[in-house]
Every structure is written in structure tokens, then in C-alpha cells.
């Protein structure tokens, strides 16, 4: 999530705001929303003050530092306004004097975090869970839905574990489905609590057909999967959850993070999926994000994908034979065998994505997912080496 | 096979056992056809901002026959000021995900249950003090839409320096006078009404 240092003045509490210009305000103003209006002159700030004087209560003015000004009648935020875009949805964290951009129209990927809590403890968790009550995140997510002024092609609802919201998850899904009618809603979940019939019925009956479920599966037997997610009984619950989703006709993407314990069983796991879970819409094979628990569990999580090409090809063949579509995510092309390049996606969020020096002479860079910006030289998915023209003549037509 | 394994080497040693289990205990999956999501297609249309039929309030001269009713008042108060935020504890949200050095196998939280026998109050109870997001404007009443339309016109007129009154959604004489000035500037019929041409000239979308 993008963060921006700010200096606030007169803002009583943390809140969600839509970034907007003075020119757009007349067109978009609503009583229930909060607007953070970008102005870059004292004159425009004066017009805003007149609006506030005239009765508008839901206005925060946002000025660049160099204006060195704050209002006496409306809340003021000073920051580097060039870092903001119109229609950004932002949250002001007053304690840290920070502004978080929680939604940006121009991003390729959108995700809303619904909780920090989780009922699993995955070896490579990129966002280690916390245990405290964070229901305020649910309320915030509902507000964020109302403040988005766009309907992006897809938005992810993530965590933590979204199913820990219980019935309120449906409230959030419905809010996004209503507010963003043409948006696909992707829920990143371990699926375990969907094994609970009462909750599953509540969540899934009559749910929007724009919803799909992104569920990780790390083994084809309980002790394999349970080891990776560090939770006894998780495999059975997740399989139960997947079958529940299937019985409600839900679209499912299975996700396999490519770390040593899953790579060791990958071909067998993919055969298992082809045989028992052939109804999934696709399988995503994902490079590991070197952050969070993955750093603490380096032994298991740091792999050179070049050492596993045989397994990757065998796994892909198993899925192809079972007619289960598959994609590779977060995997730079030089980490994959060339025969799998056609399945590799540019999946790393814009703000997390980076390239190496070597990449500048690489002929496939435009099709490459790139690297997580926090990949350091000690930990990349493989030894990054530019692909030259000769090497990929056959692939790039 | 319920035993839980904590170390990677033990885990690897146990993998051969899994091959036998690979043939499934699950019923063969039914075929399900998922409709391609790629058919989402949003054509972009070129058209004037508002057509005549979009504008519900073109003929409204005054609001006296549409006294604002209580539902609007309560709607407006949902978010006014900071009410209702009293116990909205400012969380120290840590999204930096500092790497944990504790063993992840420690302190596994119990999976909460949502079955009817054991409702998990702590998680499912709604917060009464949470700010409520507003309704989408398409769900407002006719009167609420009209007020919203007037307020947006008032905002635009203040921005143009043509109006200095309150932004209250009341289609008062000052607002009508300001509209007339604007219409004269734009060489539109100076009716003082929120006609479609006037809204288009102001760049304001008709509230629907
Ligand atoms: S060298 Fe860089 S651009 Fe080329 S495939 Fe590898 S990571 Fe991608």
C-alpha cells in the first residue's frame, strides 16, 4: 500500500476520503462521503472555505507544502500533492501522520484488506497475522466501497482471512457488488471456514455472480498441506470448502505458492487436482514473495526455480491433460522453462514491481512479470539473466 | 495421517507416503462450466453530459411543494461531523509486515466456529457506533435526489463566484438569481431553472 507523510491540521479522527479537484466537486458531492479537495492556490482554498461556510461539512482541503497554509474553518492536510491522483481513496492515519492510498483507479491490481487476523500460519505468509480485534477494518472497507468512483475490471478482497469476518463478509461483498456493478470481486481465502454449513449458506446463497474465490492448496494429502499452512486439519477443511463452493457453482482459482515443500510434490498435487478438483476455473502457480514469514522460513521458502524445471513441466502437463487451465504468477520469464512462458502473467502489483540492471538488455522484458521490489540479490526466484534474441527465436514469433 | 509435522526434513522424509494417498478419497468432480469473465465489455459512448430525459428537475421552480422529510434528515446526519466516531479507536495499522522471528508453529489460534450452536459473538456482533456508508444515489428518494441536484448546482455557482449563499439544497431565490446570471453569461434562456442545457453548461451530471 502506498504511504505518504502528511501534516494534518484540525482533523479529529481517522477517516476515509475521496481525493478530488475543486472542479469535480460540484459533480460528485454527496452528503455521506468525505472529500479531500486538492487545491494549489490560496484563491481556490478561499472558494472551498466559502463552501464550508455555506454549510458543506464533509470537506478536507489538501494543499502542497509550499503553500504553507492551513484553514481555520476546515480540516487541512499538507503533503506532496503530486503523489496523489484524482479519485484516489485514501485513509488518514493521524497518529503516524500518514496518508494511505487504499485504492487508485490507475493501478492494474486492486486489493482491499478486510482483516489482519488469520486461522492459518503459512510458512511463507507475506503478511503475518495479528490477533487483535480489527473490525474497524470492515467498516472502513464498506466506506472505501462507497468512495470509489469507478468500476475497475477486478478488485481483490483479502486479509488475513476474510472468512473470519463471518456473516459480515457477505455485507462487504454486497457493498462492492452494488457499488461497482461491472467489477469482478476476487476473494482471497483459505476456504477453511466454508466447511461450516451455516456460514457457507449465509455467505453463498444468492451471492453476486461477479464473485470468484482464490484458494491456496499446497498438498494432496493432509500432512502436506497442513505443514505448509502450519495448522492441523486445514486440508480437510479447505477441501470441504472447495466442494461447498463447487456445489454453489462458484468460480474458483486454486493457488499454489512455489516453495520447496510444494515443489517437491507439485506433479502429484496437480494430478490430484486434475482428478478430484477438475471443476476449478484455473490453477495459479505463484512465485514466493520474499517478505513476512518467508524471510523467517528461508530454508523452506527460498528456492531457485531453475532447479525445478522438470517438476514444473510435469505439473503443467498433468493440468493440461486434465483440461485445467493454469497460469504462472510472480515468476520472471528467466525463472521458467521456455515452454511455459506462454502461461506466465504480469501479476506483480505496479507499486511492488521492479526490474534489475540485467533486465534492460532482455528481449522479453515487456512480457515479464518482473520482480518484487523487495527481492534483494541474496534472494531472487532464480539467477536473473537477460534472455537474448537467439535464445527465444522459436518462442517469440 | 493426523500427525503434525514441524520440521522441513521430517516433512521431506514423509513425502513418499503421500504417493499412495494421491488417488483420491473424493468423488470424481462434476464438470462445471464457468462462464468466461472476458465477456465483460464496457463500450464507451460519446454523448452530451445530460439528455433531456436524464434531468428530473428541469421544471422545478421552488421546493415548497417538496418539504424535506425526516428520512433525508437522518440520512444527512449519518456522517455529519465526527459523531459516532467516539470509540473508533485509532488503530496503529502496521502494513510494513516486519519479518517475524518466532516460530510460526507457536500459538495456533483456534478456528472460530460460526455454526448456530456456538455463535462467536466477538466476531459477528455489529458495531453500533460504526459510521454507515451512504446509499448509492440511485437509491435516494425523489426529494433527496432533488436536494442533491440543487446542492451540486449551488456548489458550482459558488465556484464560479456567482452565488454566496448557503449550500443547503433549497432552491431559493438567491440560487435562482445566480442561475439567471449564469444563463445570461452563457447566452441561455434566463429562466432561473435547472434546465438540461444549464446543467450541461455547468458541467454537472443530472442526479438519477
Ligand atoms: S532478465 Fe529481467 S526482464 Fe528478462 S526474464 Fe529475467 S527478470 Fe524478466
pLDDT at B125: 35
Q: What does the DSSP 8-state code read for residue A336?
A: S
pLDDT at B195: 93
Task: Give domain status of residue A368, yes or no.
Answer: no
Give yes or no for B46 touching A (CB within 8 A). no
Task: Give domain status of residue A297, yes or no.
Answer: yes
Same domain, A128 and A249: yes
Task: Give domain status of residue A81, yes or no.
Answer: yes
Of A49, A81, A103, the last residue of a domain is A103
pLDDT at A379: 76
Same domain, A24 and A160: no
The confidence band for A234, taking pLDDT boundaries of 50, 70 and 90, is very high
Q: Which residues of A touch B95 (CB under 8 A)?
A: 1, 3, 100, 113, 127
Q: Which residues of A touch B94 (CB under 8 A)?
A: 130
Task: Give domain status of residue A361, yes or no.
Answer: no
Instruction: Say if residue A124 is exposed, middle or buried (CB neighbours under 10 Å; 0-12, 13-18, 19+).
Output: buried
Phi, psi of B45 (to 5 degrees): -105, 145
> Which residue did the predictor score with more confidence, A358 or B1?
A358
At A330-340, the pLDDT tens digits run 999 999 999 99
Residue of B nearest to A54 (CA): B166
Task: Reply yes or no on whether the pLDDT at A321 is more than 70.
Answer: yes
Of A351, A366, A390, the last residue of a domain is A351
Q: What is the CATH classification number for the domain harbouring A59?
A: 3.50.30
Q: Do A1 and B127 touch (CB under 8 A)?
A: no
Q: What is the CATH classification number for the domain harbouring A317?
A: 3.20.20.70
Task: Reply yes or no on whether the pLDDT at A383 is more than 90.
Answer: no
> Which residue did the predictor score with more confidence, A223 or A215?
A215
Mean per-residue pLDDT, A147-166: 94
The confidence band for B4, taking pLDDT boundaries of 50, 70 and 90, is low
Cα distances (Å, whole numbers) of residue B16 to A152, A310, B10, B190: 46, 18, 12, 86
User: For chain A, how many structural domains are there in total?
Assistant: 2
Domains of chain B, each with CATH number or no CATH: 138-202 (1.10.101)
At A282-308, the pLDDT tens digits run 999 999 988 888 888 888 888 899 999
Task: Reply yes or no on whether the pLDDT at B80 is more than 60.
Answer: no
Same domain, A31 and A158: no
At B35-58, the pLDDT tens digits run 333 333 344 444 566 776 677 777
At A62-76, the pLDDT tens digits run 999 999 999 999 999
Same domain, A289 and A189: yes
Task: Give domain status of residue A314, yes or no.
Answer: yes
Q: Which residues of A touch B137 (CB under 8 A)?
A: 30
Q: Do B109 and A125 touch (CB under 8 A)?
A: no
Contact A227, B5 (CB under 8 A): yes
What is the spatial distance between Cα B167 and Cα B151, in angstroms, rounded to a whole number?
6
Helix (H, G, I), strand (E, B) or coil at B174: helix
Same domain, A121 and A93: no
> Which residue did the predictor score with more confidence, B2 or A48?
A48
Whether the model pTM is above 0.90: no
Same domain, A63 and A201: no
Task: Reply yes or no on whether the pLDDT at A1 is more than 50.
Answer: yes
Ligand 1 shell residues, CB under 6 Å: A 332-334, 355-356, 358-359, 362, 364-365, 368, 384-387
Most confident of the following: A285-294, A308-317, B6-15, B30-39: A308-317
Q: What is the dihedral of CA A223, A227, A232, A234, to 10 degrees?
A: -90
What is the spatial distance between Cα A207 and Cα A165, in angstroms, rounded to a whole number?
16
Tell me which residue range forms the domain holding A229.
Answer: 111-351
Same domain, A90 and A121: no
**Closest atom of ligand 1 relative to the A387 alpha carbon:** 4
Same domain, A276 and A182: yes
Same domain, A116 and A59: no
Give yes or no for A218 touching B (CB within 8 A). no
Task: Give domain status of residue A289, yes or no.
Answer: yes
Of A103, A134, A151, the last residue of a domain is A103
Task: Give domain status of residue A385, yes or no.
Answer: no
Partner residue opposite A166 with nearest CB, options B124, B135, B155? B124
At A84-121, the pLDDT tens digits run 999 999 999 888 999 999 999 998 889 999 999 999 98
Percent over 90 (pLDDT), chain B: 29
Residue of A nearest to B103 (CA): A296
Give yes or no for A190 touching B (CB within 8 A). no
Helix (H, G, I), strand (E, B) or coil at A136: helix
Q: Do A47 and B156 touch (CB under 8 A)?
A: no
Query: ipTM greater than 0.90, yes or no?
Result: no
Q: Do A223 and B1 touch (CB under 8 A)?
A: yes
Which residues, at least 6 apart from A370, have a Cβ–Cβ distance to it below 8 Å? A332, A346, A348, A353, A354, A355, A359
pLDDT at B6: 59
What is the nearest CA distance from B48 to chain A, expressed in angstroms?
15
Q: Which residues of A touch B26 (CB under 8 A)?
A: 239, 243, 276-277
Same domain, A83 and A206: no
Q: Pick the range with the lowest mean pLDDT from A47-51, A320-324, A380-384, B39-43.
A: B39-43
Q: Do B136 and A178 touch (CB under 8 A)?
A: yes
pLDDT at A91: 94
**Closest atom of ligand 1 relative to the A365 alpha carbon:** 3
Q: Do A30 and B134 touch (CB under 8 A)?
A: yes
Same domain, A49 and A189: no
C-alpha cell at B130: 460504526
Task: Give domain status of residue A257, yes or no.
Answer: yes
CA dihedral sign, ordered A95, A97, A99, A100:
negative
Same domain, A192 and A291: yes
Amino acid at each position: 500500500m502506498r504511504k505518504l507523510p502528511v501534516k494534518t491540521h484540525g482533523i479529529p479522527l481517522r477517516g476515509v476520503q475521496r481525493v478530488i479537484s475543486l472542479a469535480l466537486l460540484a459533480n460528485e458531492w454527496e452528503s455521506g462521503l468525505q472529500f479531500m479537495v486538492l487545491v494549489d492556490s490560496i484563491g481556490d482554498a478561499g472558494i472551498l472555505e466559502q463552501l464550508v461556510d455555506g454549510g458543506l461539512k464533509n470537506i478536507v482541503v489538501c494543499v502542497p507544502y509550499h503553500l504553507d497554509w492551513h484553514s481555520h474553518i476546515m480540516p487541512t492536510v499538507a503533503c506532496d500533492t503530486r503523489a496523489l491522483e484524482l479519485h484516489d481513496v485514501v485513509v488518514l492515519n493521524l497518529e503516524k501522520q500518514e496518508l494511505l492510498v487504499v485504492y487508485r483507479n490507475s493501478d492494474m491490481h486492486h486489493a482491499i484488506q478486510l482483516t489482519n487476523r488469520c486461522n492459518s500460519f503459512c510458512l511463507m505468509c507475506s503478511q503475518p497475522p495479528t490477533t487483535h480485534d480489527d473490525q474497524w477494518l470492515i467498516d472502513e472497507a464498506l466506506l472505501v466501497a462507497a468512495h470509489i468512483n469507478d468500476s475497475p475490471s477486478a478488485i481483490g478482497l483479502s486479509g488475513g482471512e476474510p472468512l473470519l469476518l463471518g456473516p459480515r463478509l457477505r455485507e462487504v461483498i454486497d457493498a462492492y457488488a452494488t457499488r461497482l456493478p461491472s467489477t469482478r470481486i476476487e476473494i482471497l481465502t483459505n476456504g477453511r471456514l466454508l466447511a461450516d454449513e451455516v456460514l457457507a449458506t449465509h455467505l453463498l446463497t444468492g451471492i453476486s455472480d461477479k464473485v470468484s474465490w482464490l484458494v491456496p492448496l499446497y498438498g494432496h494429502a493432509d500432512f502436506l498441506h497442513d505443514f505448509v499452512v502450519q495448522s492441523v486439519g486445514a486440508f480437510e477443511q479447505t477441501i470441504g470448502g472447495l466442494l461447498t463452493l463447487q456445489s454453489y457453482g462458484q468460480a474458483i482459482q486454486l493457488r499454489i505458492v512455489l516453495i520447496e515443500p510444494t515443489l517437491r510434490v507439485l506433479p502429484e498435487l496437480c494430478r490430484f487436482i486434475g482428478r478430484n478438483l477438475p471443476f476449478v476455473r484455473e490453477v495459479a502457480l505463484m512465485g514466493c514473495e520474499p517478505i513476512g514469514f518467508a524471510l523467517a522460513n528461508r530454508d523452506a521458502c527460498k528456492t531457485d526455480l531453475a532447479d525445478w524445471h522438470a517438476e514444473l513441466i510435469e505439473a503443467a502437463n498433468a493440468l493440461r491433460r486434465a483440461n485445467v487451465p493454469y497460469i504462472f504468477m510472480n515468476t520472471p520469464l528467466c525463472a521458467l522453462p521456455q515452454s511455459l512462458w506462454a502461461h506466465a502473467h504480469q501479476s506483480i502489483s505496479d507499486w511492488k514491481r521492479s526490474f534489475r540492471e540485467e533486465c534492460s538488455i532482455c528481449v522479453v522484458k515487456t512480457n515479464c512479470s518482473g520482480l518484487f521490489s523487495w527481492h534483494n540479490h541474496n534472494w531472487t526466484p532464480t539467477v536473473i539473466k537477460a534472455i537474448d534474441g537467439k535464445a527465444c527465436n522459436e518462442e517469440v514469433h | 495421517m493426523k500427525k503434525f509435522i514441524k520440521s522441513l526434513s521430517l516433512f521431506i522424509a514423509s513425502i513418499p507416503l503421500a504417493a499412495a494417498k494421491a488417488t483420491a478419497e473424493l468423488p470424481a468432480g462434476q464438470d462445471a462450466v464457468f462462464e468466461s469473465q472476458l465477456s465483460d465489455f464496457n463500450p464507451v459512448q460519446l454523448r452530451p453530459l445530460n439528455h433531456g430525459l436524464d434531468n428530473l428537475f428541469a421544471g422545478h421552480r421552488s421546493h415548497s411543494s417538496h418539504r424535506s422529510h425526516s428520512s433525508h434528515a437522518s440520512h444527512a446526519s449519518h456522517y455529519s461531523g465526527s459523531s459516532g466516531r467516539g470509540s473508533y479507536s485509532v488503530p496503529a495499522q502496521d502494513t510494513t509486515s516486519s519479518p517475524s522471528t518466532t516460530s510460526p508453529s507457536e500459538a495456533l489460534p483456534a478456528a472460530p466456529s460460526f455454526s448456530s450452536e456456538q455463535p462467536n459473538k466477538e466476531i459477528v456482533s455489529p458495531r453500533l457506533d460504526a459510521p454507515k456508508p451512504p446509499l448509492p444515489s440511485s437509491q435516494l428518494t425523489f426529494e433527496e435526489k432533488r436536494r442533491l441536484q440543487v446542492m451540486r448546482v449551488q456548489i458550482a455557482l459558488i465556484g464560479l463566484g456567482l452565488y454566496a449563499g448557503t449550500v443547503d439544497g433549497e432552491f431559493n431565490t438567491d440560487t435562482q438569481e445566480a442561475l439567471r446570471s449564469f444563463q445570461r453569461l452563457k447566452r441561455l434562456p434566463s429562466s432561473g431553472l435547472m434546465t438540461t442545457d444549464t446543467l450541461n453548461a455547468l458541467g454537472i451530471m443530472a442526479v438519477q
